Amino acid sequence: MSDRLLHLPLAGVPGHLVRRLAALIAGTDEPVPMFPMLVLEAVTTRPWSSATFEGQRHRLDLRLHGDAACIGAALDRLIEVLPEAEFELPRQIVAEARLTSLRVDPDPAVAALALTIEVLTVTD
């Protein structure tokens, strides 16, 4: 494996989600290239239930770094494919995945985009 590939040691359902989101952002199911660079800033997981289902809500705070064109293309891809994206998770089904927050870094010397993605998984 090349040192230019993204390595994400995060385990469990959050790890699967982040790896799949990285592939969606890069536009490939192959090993994910480093640019645009994806930085995982925080992951929050909490239990969720309804009258008929149990699962978890996952909040993923991410940041994309790279040149502006690269980040723009990655964001366009993510917005297009996220609502219908397939996630292979052990004993979980993704009921909803959505982009809930998007902020451009105000520093003109840095091309960076902060985004929050929320994912609802239900137990299969």
Q: Give per-residue pLDDT as tens, 43-85.
A: 999 999 999 999 999 999 999 988 888 888 889 999 999 999 9
pLDDT at position 33 is 52
Q: Which amino acid would we find at residue 50?
A: S
Closest CA to 66 of 40, 32, 104, 34: 34
106 by Cβ neighbours in 10 Å (0-12 / 13-18 / 19+) ranks as exposed
pLDDT at position 4 is 41
pLDDT digits (tens, 9 = 90+) for 5-48: 444 556 788 888 988 888 888 876 555 555 678 888 999 999 99
